[in-house]
Amino acid sequence: MSNRAPVPFVDLGAQLSQIRPDIDAAIAGVLERGDYILGASVERFEEEFAAYCQTRFAVGVDSGTSGLELALTACGVGAGHEVITAANTFIATALAISHAGARPVLVDLAPGTFNMDPAAVERAITPDTRAIVPVHLYGYPADMAPLMEIARRHGLAVVEDASQAHGARYGGNRVGTFGDAAAFSLYPAKNLGALGDAGVVVTNDPDIADALRLARNYGSPVKYHHVSKGHNRRLDTLQAAVLRVKLPYLDDWNRRRRANAAAYNRLLGDSEGVLAPPGDGVGAEAVYHLYVIRCEQRDRLQRHLSNEGISTVIHYPVPIHLQPAYADLGHSRGDFPIAEQYAREVLSLPMYPELAEAGIERVAAAIERFPANLRSMSYTVPAVI
């Protein structure tokens, strides 16, 4: 790669070109069978994804947002309940809680991590609390041991939002295996992505799996017989066929993401005013859906990188409690100081399995050219654990 070649943020084409003949054959197979709705590939993918996660069941749905909502409902969450989640997550986590009829109760991050603070979760519990939704943000497992202990002690359900963490491990087990259920988005750019919207929920509980199968399919156990007011939220057979081709590559793709993160860490380690992301955490293995640095002069750094041909993204510029959509929660600036600080400072660098070392070197070299007088820093929380 020449040192002027643009570096895209993600490159879905690079992944597709490796497996294109198999994708084409999988799509052709569905066209031949014509089983577009809840066809054979859906069932096969569900078996294979459950085996991958080492859960008893997986239920395919039409998006990660749907998966979270239906999983919460299947766990008994509804009107009048509160559900605790992270203030710095993608809006879909909160929307799913709202659409399940409950009120999202937000908590701040544990200092030095990108994940919710278990101590803050415990403080947020009220008599109306029904569930906790830990988010494995950016591919980092949330600290599930204390969260599960708190949930057990207070009799709360746990639905993991694993939408950015397919394959990540905590204490040796895959994320998605800790809570009552876990939802994964299979949006195209996720670590495992379809060619459009898709999602999947995993669980070890046969009652939750049954409830999910009903809820995604008009509440219908048998065609034209309806036992509940379900939805139309199924995983498309075509998407399942594509996902079956991709799933065997997921571990290798995640290894490459981890190798790319290690290369960034090595090259950015001494860069003044630019903080590398946290490490894995004890006993955990992150899968780097995103590689997120922090910089006090984040907006200037982003413009500088853009001028150098390097695409970056901010995940996320506005925490949930400051979004107009959640004005009804009654929060104001200052309520979740770490989430707010991170919203000002985080910057996601190019990250995808096929990103070559030369591309990472080019990003790191461009960061080195960021003017030294803009590298001020006054952090009050430890950034690297």
Ligand X SMILES: *Cc1c(COP(=O)(O)O)cnc(C)c1O
Tokens coding 306? 């853009």
Closer to ligand X by Cβ: residue 164 or 177: 164
185 binds ligand X (CB under 6 A): yes
User: Least distance in Å: CB of 67 to ligand X?
Assistant: 8
Residues 139-178 that bind ligand X (CB under 6 A): 161, 163-164
- Interface map 188-217 toward ligand X (x if CB under 6 A): ---------x-x------------------
Name residues whose C-beta falls within 8 Å of residue 210's C-beta, 6 or more positions apart in sequence. none
3-state secondary structure of 109: strand
Closer to ligand X by Cβ: residue 55 or 89: 89
User: Least distance in Å: CB of 37 to ligand X?
Assistant: 19
Tell me the residue ranges of DSSP E strands in 255-336: 284-285, 291-294
85 binds ligand X (CB under 6 A): no
d(CA 12, CA 132) in angstroms, rounded, equals 33
User: Least distance in Å: CB of 194 to ligand X?
Assistant: 9
Neighbours of 247 (CB within 10 A): 17
Closer to ligand X by Cβ: residue 7 or 235: 235
Distances (CA, A) of 116 to 35, 40, 147, 181, 216: 42, 38, 9, 18, 29
Closer to ligand X by Cβ: residue 141 or 199: 199
Tell me which of 52, 90, 264, 336 binds ligand X, using CB under 6 A.
90
User: Least distance in Å: CB of 313 to ligand X?
Assistant: 12
Tell me the residue ranges of DSSP E strands in the chain: 57-61, 82-86, 103-107, 129-133, 157-161, 169-170, 173-174, 181-185, 199-203, 284-285, 291-294, 346-349
Residues 61-80 that bind ligand X (CB under 6 A): 63-65
Distances (CA, A) of 326 to 260, 339, 369: 36, 15, 39
Tell me which of 26, 61, 71, 92 binds ligand X, using CB under 6 A.
92
- Interface map 289-328 toward ligand X (x if CB under 6 A): ----------------------------------------
What backbone phi and psi angles, to 5 degrees, belong to 44?
A: -60, -45
281 binds ligand X (CB under 6 A): no
> Count residues contacting ligand X (CB under 6 A)?
15
Tokens coding 80? 């009048």
Q: Which residue type does 48 have? A: E
Neighbours of 334 (CB within 10 A): 8
Q: Are 234 and 227 in contact (CB under 8 A)?
A: no
Among 37, 35, 21, CA closest to 242: 21
Neighbours of 28 (CB within 10 A): 11
User: Least distance in Å: CB of 197 to ligand X?
Assistant: 6
Closer to ligand X by Cβ: residue 139 or 359: 139
- Interface map 99-118 toward ligand X (x if CB under 6 A): --------------------
User: Least distance in Å: CB of 140 to ligand X?
Assistant: 11
User: Which residue's CB comes closest to ligand X?
Assistant: 64
User: Least distance in Å: CB of 153 to ligand X?
Assistant: 26
Q: Which stretch binds ligand X (CB under 6 A): 48-56, 57-65, 266-274, 347-355?
A: 57-65
Q: Which stretch binds ligand X (CB under 6 A): 41-49, 84-92, 148-156, 234-242?
A: 84-92
User: Least distance in Å: CB of 338 to ligand X?
Assistant: 17
Among 199, 234, 198, CA closest to 214: 234
Among 174, 133, 144, 132, CA closest to 287: 174
Note the residues at the interface with ligand X (CB under 6 A): 63-65, 89-90, 92-93, 135, 161, 163-164, 185, 187, 197, 199
